[in-house]
Structure 1
Amino acid sequence: MWIRKRRKGKRLILHIGQPKSGTTSIQDFLAFDRQRLARQNYLYPVLENVENRNAHHALSYSLRERVERGVRIKGHDASRQVDIWGRLSDQISADCCGTVVLSSEDFYFLDYGGRQHGSAIQELGKWADQHFDEVTVLAYLNRQDRHVESWCNEIVKHGIDQTTLPIAKIADRLPNCHSNYAGLRSRWMKVFGNGVQFRPFQRSALKDGDAVMDFCDVIGYEPSTAVRNFERKNLRVTRLAFEVLRNANRFEHNQEVHRVCVKALQEIAPEDSRDDLKVNPGLFFEEAMREKWRVSNAKYDIGFEDPELKQAVGDPVPYSLWQPEDLVPVEVKARHLMGSNERRVAAAGALLMAAVEVMRATE
């Protein structure tokens, strides 16, 4: 850890993600355990007038809006009316705790946008230097092929840009932070030195195979027994559902209708049994992308299983591994939704039916 040479007597644990590495579970648990945390000399701050009080996304959004060209991120409009970082500073100064924990996977994206007014990570470092002697930047990183698959799934699940691209093409457009972990680490170390700690997000490397338990162990916190109830949140959709949603994006629709489609697909989860086979996710992506991952892992060995992705060799394979008969439950569900008296539900049914028809036509 990097020790700052000023006598403020406090340390900061800055949990920056990555997305899809148990972050929601960690944040929900820390929020649930706030009082016990306080008794053990930890502060997990509450941000007022923000969309998510269990996490600290608004802090990261505020930093990014300062430095990124024209960016304005939803989810913290109320916080724009106040100095959110100033209020946090006052809260920290007034609290007698020894350790402050901040958590947002949006911190992971600092300095990867269209920067215009400097570095958000440097801004964060300046703020931290005013309050803390010791700073640990902590991230859990999934092996690149697994992470990229999960993040592409998240993009389609939430209807971000309503892309119709196949997964390999979506991956090609992702920021470097999703693949070049060596470069990501270098960005943070320039500001926080050896306080940057990246851990592999894989069961064999986590305490009791659980990210929440591991996080508590790393920061030295003795959690309540409720820790066992905070496993896996924000589950992704199946690979077949990913393909259905991607094809549904061919047709204009709003976010409400999209959410109904996602819920319906999660209810039936009609994935072909072959999707459960241990297909190496690296095989879904082009060789140029795999090589990019190997180069990064050669520069910075985080401890992944198969870091050189030796098992991901050969031509890319189809993503969802679905068969025509796998579309039958989707079609049945779509017809059921189309019969609803609620307009958005009926619209979701029609959208799913249209996606099925496109997929049948392109088998």
Structure 2
Amino acid sequence: MRAICHIGHHKTGTTSLQAFLAQNSHELLKAGTLYPWVENEGAANAVAKALRGRDDDDELSINIREAHNALAFRMLADTLPAWKVPGYHRMLPHSNQMMRAIELQIRELQPETTTLCSEVMSHFGKIAPDLITRLRTKALRSVSDISVWCTLRRPDEQLVSWHGQQLRFGQAPAPLSDPERGLKLDWLHVDYRGVIEPWAQLIPEAKLILRPYDEVKAEGGSIDDFFKHSKIKRPAKLQPAQHLNVGFQPAVIILLRKANKQLPKPVAAQLASHMTALTRGMELFGTSQVEFLGEASRKKLVEHFAPIHAWLSQVSGRKAFFADIDKMAQCNPRSEAEALQQFLDQLTPDRLQRLPSKELRDFLAQQHA
């Protein structure tokens, strides 16, 4: 038997992959791949699928849809006092019980492949490497062949994407163009060696599968890329994939940074939830066109990342892990101000009326001033 631990990274399509695997867990199991549940909701869902004899397109709860994120959060919270399980993952058992559930499913079902998928596990290497050993010796103790999979973005693109995610969460981070306060070089969105190397050291028998995000996109996205390079069987009858956790456009990122600083949290969150509808039909610059870092931050990032990239290239057996690594030193052509102005120029009165509150409409109207 073999196992694949897909540990992300964040913002590389892992959320969509998890949802797809969870939605199709019954057909996958029939084809030899176990995507294990970890708590009671997942167990009940698996039994219901077995009784029906099929998967369906019902919307899954987050404990089922992101089961292995729930496991990773629980493992971190059970180990580190500073970590708490997010409120949306409710009624989770202790992580030992969750890993025992995986171990028993492997024992009873004897799958060809067991797949775990969780970008939250990308935190283990940097802050709690003992959790890697716990996962291997408890949940996956009976598995002889193991692979650790990680998809990585070029770090300048990763930082911009995560900056947008922070704003989606209601945070107000300093701009990435501030090389002192906004550019964090020691965290997992830059220190890819710190993310991956502990897995290789603590599970020395594991095969590393490291995928550049540009190649994943060229394969059709995280789901198609996973099936192609994991060599697991792809059943014919599968529920369609959902495209989840889509990143914001640059103009939206810039606007939410202002909103999260100036507006009450509930109001700023309301704006974030309405931005997709508000911008529908607008022609807006993409992230590859707008510069968020600036020359000073890019210079600092390039120097810091050079030895990390050399290590990635060596362990992956590639001449250059990121084939376009030289582009990291180059600023994009459009400024943040231009991106925001492009949005404001298309913000007509009828679009403003789509917003549910006067406070939001007034906030956007003020941006024209």
Q: TM-score range by the shorter chain?
A: 0.7 to 0.9
Matched, 1:353 2:362: yes
Q: Does 1:78 align with 2:91?
A: yes
Task: Name the counterpart of 1:3.
Answer: none
Please give the alpha-carbon distance, in whole angstroms, between the structure 1 residues aligned to 2:291 and 2:332. Answer: 12
Q: What is the rounded CA distance, in whole Å, between the counterparts of 1:277 and 1:241 in structure 2? A: 11
Aligned to 1:195: 207
1:123-149 superposed Cα distances (whole Å, 9 cap, x missing partner): 223225522111111111111111111
Q: Which residue matches 2:343?
A: 326
TM normalised by structure 2 equals 0.78
Identical aligned residues as a percent: 21
Distance 2:106 2:352 in 1: 55
Q: How does 1:7-26 map to 2 (within 5 A)?
A: 10-26=1-17
How far 1:353 sits from its partner (Å)? Answer: 3.1
For residue 279 of structure 1, the aligned residue among 270, 277, 289 is: 289
SS state at 1:14 partner? strand
1:335 and 1:314 mapped to 2: Cα distance? 33
The alignment status of 1:119 with 2:130, answered yes or no, reads yes
* Root-mean-square deviation over aligned CA pairs: 3.2
Q: 1:200 & 1:184 partners in 2: Cα distance?
A: 15
1:289 aligns to 2:298 (yes or no): no
Q: How does 1:64-75 map to 2 (within 5 A)?
A: 64-74=76-86, 75=88
- Runs of 4 or more, structure 1, over 6 Å off, are 314-317
Instruction: Tell me: CA distance 1:251–1:206, structure 2 relative to 1, closer, same or farther (3 Å).
Output: closer
Per-residue deviation, residues 271-300 of structure 1 (Å, max 9, x unmatched)? 985724853868544421232223311222
Amino acid across the alignment from 2:91: A
Distance 2:39 2:337 in 1: 42
Cα pair distance change 1:263/1:312, threshold 3 Å: same
Q: String of CA shifts for 1:140-199, please: whole Å, max 9, x gaps.
A: 11111111111111111221xx21522334752375221122332212111122422211
Amino acid at match of 1:26: L
Deviation at 1:270?
Answer: 7.5
Q: Is structure 2 residue 260 aligned with structure 1 residue 249?
A: yes
Q: 2:197 matched to which residue of 1?
A: 186
Confirm or deny: 8 A CA contact 2:126 2:195 kept in the other structure: no
Question: Which of residues 51, 59, 62 is equivalent to 2:74?
Answer: 62
Task: Give yes or no for contact 2:2–2:145 (8 Å, CA) kept in 1.
Answer: yes
TM-score, reference length from structure 1: 0.79
| Matched residue, 1:261 | 271
Write the letter of the residue equivalent to 2:221.
D
The equivalent residue for 1:91 is 105
Distance verdict in 2 for CA 1:188–1:321, change over 3 Å: farther
> How far apart are residue 310 of structure 1 and its match?
4.3
Query: Following the alignment from structure 2 to structure 1, what is the Cα–Cα distance between the partners of residues 7 and 131?
Result: 13
| Whole-angstrom distance in 1 between the partners of 2:264 and 2:109 | 47
Distance 2:258 2:330 in 1: 28
Instruction: Give 3-state SS (helix, strand or coil) of 1:110's partner.
Output: helix
Aligned match of 1:300 in 305, 308, 312? 312
Q: Does the C-alpha gap of structure 1 residues 315 and 259 become closer, same or farther in structure 2, counting only changes over 3 Å? A: closer
Structure 2 unmatched ranges of 5 or more: 42-61
SS of structure 2 residue aligned to 1:300: helix
Task: Indicate conservation of the 8 Å contact 1:18/1:141, yes or no.
Answer: yes
Cross-structure match for 2:222 = 211
Of the structure 1 ranges 220-229 and 185-194, higher mean CA displacement relative to structure 2 is found in: 220-229
Deviation (angstroms), 1:119: 2.5
Contact 1:238 1:269 in 2 (8 A): no
Q: Is the 8 A contact 2:8 2:122 kept in 1?
A: yes
The 1:330–1:244 alpha-carbon spacing in structure 2 relative to 1, beyond 3 Å, is farther
Letter in structure 1 aligned against 2:7: I
Matches within 5 A, 1:218-257: 218-224=229-235, 229-230=240-241, 232-255=243-266, 257=267
Q: Distance in 1 between matches of 2:332 and 2:225?
A: 36
Q: Compared with structure 1, are the counterparts of its residues 20 and 164 closer, same or farther at alpha carbon in structure 2 (3 Å cutoff)?
A: closer
Report if aligned partners of 1:43, 1:101 keep a CA contact under 8 Å in 2: yes
